[in-house]
Amino acid sequence: MSPASPWYNNFVRLAALFIALIVGAGCRSYVDSTPAQLREGDHLANYRRIFREPIPSHVTVVNSAVVTYSFRPGVVATDDFEFELLASPAWIQKKIRRYFLDKGEDDFIRDQLNRRRTQARRWYAPGPLDQYDLYRDGTSLGYVHMLVKREMESDGRRRVFISKH
């Protein structure tokens, strides 16, 4: 049995690359075409959908927006969300643990949150960043952000803005 010619080896490599490019482009367009639906204003349903529990008595949902994605075989899509809440310190600590959030004040987190706020709803953390304690998840992309207003409300709760994108 003789070894394959260099021409044949190059042809096989190019064909494999071409097939990979076609499949990759097809998958990308498949993901891009996954239908999304915005759910805004139904605070009870939005809170239940994202946090998997009824709204606790010590939490008030002020604003909410959830983007849901339809199921598509081979596509893993989780809901995106934005919430403005009045929440107790215990609720805040529970979410910090659930989403593995780290507190930060450096320029990196400030730049990332400022970019995020340009795409958010107008009600999402409208004040300057120095009014908030800043949190983000530990992933390289920073999917989950939480901004907690430093000034407490009269009932001891804090204004919280939490989002995932």
- Check residue 28 and give its pLDDT: 53
For the cut 80, the answer to whether the pLDDT of residue 1 exceeds it is no
Domain that holds residue 65: 35-164
88 and 40 assigned to the same domain? yes
- Widest CA span in the chain: 86
Overall average pLDDT of the 143-156 stretch: 94
At 71, the pLDDT band (50, 70, 90 cuts) reads confident
- Check residue 69 and give its pLDDT: 82
Scored b (16 or more CB within 10 A) or e, 102-115 reads eebeeeebeebbee
Measure the CA–CA gap between 82 and 50, rounded to whole angstroms. 10
112 and 79 assigned to the same domain? yes
pTM of the model as a whole:
0.74
126 and 151 assigned to the same domain? yes
64 and 134 assigned to the same domain? yes
99 and 23 assigned to the same domain? no
14 and 55 assigned to the same domain? no
At 140, the pLDDT band (50, 70, 90 cuts) reads low
63 and 133 assigned to the same domain? yes
86 and 7 assigned to the same domain? no
Measure the CA–CA gap between 120 and 126, rounded to whole angstroms. 10
28 and 64 assigned to the same domain? no
60 and 86 assigned to the same domain? yes
15 and 51 assigned to the same domain? no
Measure the CA–CA gap between 121 and 87, rounded to whole angstroms. 20
The C-alpha angle 48, 162, 55, rounded to 5 degrees, equals 30
Q: What is the DSSP string of 44-73?
A: HHHHHHHHSSPPPTT-EEEEEEEEEE--BT
101 and 142 assigned to the same domain? yes
Counted domains in the chain: 2
